[in-house]
Amino acid sequence: MATREVIPRQRGFTLGEVMVAVAICAILAALAGNAMSGVRKVGRVSSEARLLVQRLQSVRANAVSQGNAQGYAIGPNGLNVVAPDAHQGFVFIKANPTASPVTYNALTDRLDPFRDWLPVNGTSSLVVVSGASGTQPAPFTIGFDINGQATVNPAAPFPYCIQVTDTLDPAVFRYVILFNDGTVKVQKNETWCP
């Protein structure tokens, strides 16, 4: 008598098992998307704060090394802002090299051709840069005389705290601290800013 070979039955996934796997993948994707959104916000704010520190250090160094007062202007920014210098920062060089205090004059000061643009979505910037610990909206300027001494306009006390905040999530922020001797840094665990 011939024996029949028994072939094991191959089993696939049931519809229920596939639906559970898809549901788990959807939940994990939603959680990852939310986490990535937060990471992008922190990255944008931190990047803008580091750029601001670099620009202020560069302008101060140029003012001292070139013997010509210079500054950095930050234009209006935030939600639905429309202006010629909205959502940007730029370097200005004083017509009078020994000017002190150093404030921006659109009629006489020479502008650096390069502009720093805040990340924008339409007419709104994705980060807000404001002075005096977040209470002074832009525009404002920070100038340095030939000795590297800082001037803030509109005037405010030192240390001057520039707040960089996510436009839609104010809990995501960084402070850039400007001291009266012209040095600048991103706040870590200091208590200079509120």
Q: Which pLDDT score, from 0 to 100, does residue 1 have?
A: 61
Domain-embedded: residue 4: no
Pairing of strands 120-121, 124-125: antiparallel
Range of the structural domain that residue 176 is part of:
17-186
The 3-class SS string of 45-106 reads: HHHHHHHHHHHHHHHHHHHHHHCCCEEEEECCCCCCCCCCCCCEEEEEECCCCCCCCCCCCC
What is the rounded CA–CA span in Å between residue 57 and residue 60? 5
Domain-embedded: residue 92: yes
The residue with tokens 């559970």 is: 20
Q: Which pLDDT score, from 0 to 100, does residue 134 have?
A: 81
Domain-embedded: residue 11: no
Q: How far lies 35's CA from each of 41, 44, 193, in Å?
A: 10, 14, 28
81: domain CATH number is 3.55.40.10
Domain-embedded: residue 155: yes
- For the chain, how many structural domains are there in total? 1
For the stretch 50-83, pLDDT in tens is 999 999 999 999 999 999 999 999 999 988 988 8
Q: Respond yes or no on whether the N-terminal peptide bond of residue 101 is cis (omega within 30° of 0).
A: yes
Considering only residues 34 and 187, tell me which one the structure prediction assigns the higher pLDDT: 187
Check whether 113 has a pLDDT greater than 80. yes
What is the rounded CA–CA span in Å between residue 180 and residue 149? 6
CA atoms within 13 A on the CB side of 3: 3
Check whether 84 has a pLDDT greater than 70. yes
Instruction: State whether residue 124 is helix, strand or coil.
Output: strand
Domain-embedded: residue 6: no
Domain-embedded: residue 7: no
What is the rounded CA–CA span in Å between residue 187 and residue 193? 8
Domain-embedded: residue 193: no
Residue 2: pLDDT band by 50, 70, 90 thresholds?
A: low
Contact status, residue 20 vs residue 149, Cβ threshold 8 Å: no
Domain-embedded: residue 29: yes
Contact status, residue 70 vs residue 59, Cβ threshold 8 Å: yes
How much is the average pLDDT of 104-112?
A: 91
